[in-house]
Amino acid sequence: MPIPDSAPFTGRSGDAGTAARARGLTKAYGSGETTVLALDSVDVDIARGRFTAVMGPSGSGKSTLMHCLAGLDNVSAGQVWLGDTEITGLKERELTQLRRDRVGFMFQSFNLIPTLSALENMTLPMDIAGRKPDQAWLEHVIDTLGLRDRLKHRPAQLSGGQQQRVACARALVAKPELIFADEPTGNLDSRAGLEVLGFLRDAVDQLGQTVVMVTHDPGAAAHSDLVLFLGDGRIVDDLERPTADAVLERMKRFDALHATAPPGTSGGHGAASPSDGPHGQS
Ligand SMILES: Nc1ncnc2c1ncn2[C@@H]1O[C@H](COP(=O)(O)OP(=O)(O)OP(=O)(O)O)[C@@H](O)[C@H]1O
């Protein structure tokens, strides 16, 4: 199905276009009375070449949104595109190939293979795909991430920050259209966390990468270009060029709305929503 024109929406895709897009994205877990609506008809544009953070209370749907945009999870309703490719409706094999060829991932727990060296971990996705990494690019990523003297080390011989840098390199080496990072600093001390955030920022600014990062940390979100705030499975607000203080203020406001909302309501998120259109950035 073609991507709908922006007519019914207020979506603002950047000059470089849209790296990912969702319309009416709905995800329910379970059935009957135990159904949990993790995502409730979300419209979102992820602009290419930008750093987008996704924040919200625990259970608000952040990971589910990331998984659905990345084709890691199927949707209950709605449509998702990666670039111009509609991924909703693709068969599992096609999805696996698309993820492998076009998406990079970073997780809180690094997800490195313990028996492989740092270098082998970095090139593993491309090895599996039968593709040869662009050697000049690989060298550039290695140097940018400061991993030159760690290439032969196994993950257990590396600090948490170094392991996450390897995971970052692994995500970058294949030059994916989009990198999804789920709490990439969650297991790191603040110094190593800052370092990884700096690398993600550089990947966007210097390498033209597109990054979507789920985080609970306002300080981490402040490294992004745009913060999307989720509440009860909906995007309830967004914040351009965030500072940690501004993010914190916004979060306090949502907490206050939640605290004063009568039982059985969605915590006043509707009132916090600035528009009915998709959230994105220019
Ligand atoms: N596999 C699953 N089965 C049933 N319910 C699920 C499943 N995965 C998520 N949920 C529910 O969907 C909702 C959204 O979960 P999700 O993990 O996306 O939230 P989150 O904002 O990422 O939370 P956290 O910050 O705690 O990681 C929650 O109510 C959660 O309990």
Question: 13 in a domain, yes or no?
Answer: no
Q: Dig out the tokens for 148 from the structure.
A: 């030159």
Q: CATH number of the domain that 134 lies in?
A: 3.40.50.300
pLDDT tens track for 42-60:
999 999 999 999 999 999 9
ipTM over 0.90: yes
Cβ(35) – ligand 1 distance below 6 Å: no
pLDDT band for position 277 (cuts 50, 70, 90)? low
pLDDT band for position 3 (cuts 50, 70, 90)? very low
273 pLDDT more than 70: no
Cα 217 to ligand 1 centre (Å): 18
For the segment 2-26, the average pLDDT, to the nearest whole number, is: 64
pLDDT band for position 143 (cuts 50, 70, 90)? confident
Indicate the number of domains in the chain: 1
Cα 35 from Cα 137, distance rounded (Å): 46
Q: Which helix (H) or strand (E) holds 3?
A: none
Please list, in sequence order, all residues whose beta carbon lies within 8 angstroms of the beta carbon of residue 183, skipping any fewer than 6 positions away: 107, 108, 214, 215, 216
Q: Dig out the tokens for 203 from the structure.
A: 């990947």
What's the pTM value of the predicted model, to 2 decimals?
0.85
Give residue 260's pLDDT: 64
What range defines the domain where residue 247 resides? 18-272
Atom of ligand 1 nearest to the CA of 65: 18
Whole-number Cα distances in Å, 39 to 9, 232, 270 = 19, 7, 14
For the segment 194-208, the average pLDDT, to the nearest whole number, is: 88
Question: 135 in a domain, yes or no?
Answer: yes
Question: 3 in a domain, yes or no?
Answer: no
Which of the listed residues 25, 63, 236 should we mutate to test ligand 1's pocket, taking the one with most ligand atoms within 8 A of CB?
63
Question: 150 in a domain, yes or no?
Answer: yes
Question: 278 in a domain, yes or no?
Answer: no
Question: 281 in a domain, yes or no?
Answer: no
99 pLDDT more than 70: yes
Question: 2 in a domain, yes or no?
Answer: no
Percent of the chain clearing pLDDT 90 (strictly above): 61
267 pLDDT more than 70: no
Answer with the residue of higher pLDDT: 148 or 190: 148
Residue with tokens 């060829």: 101
Question: 280 in a domain, yes or no?
Answer: no
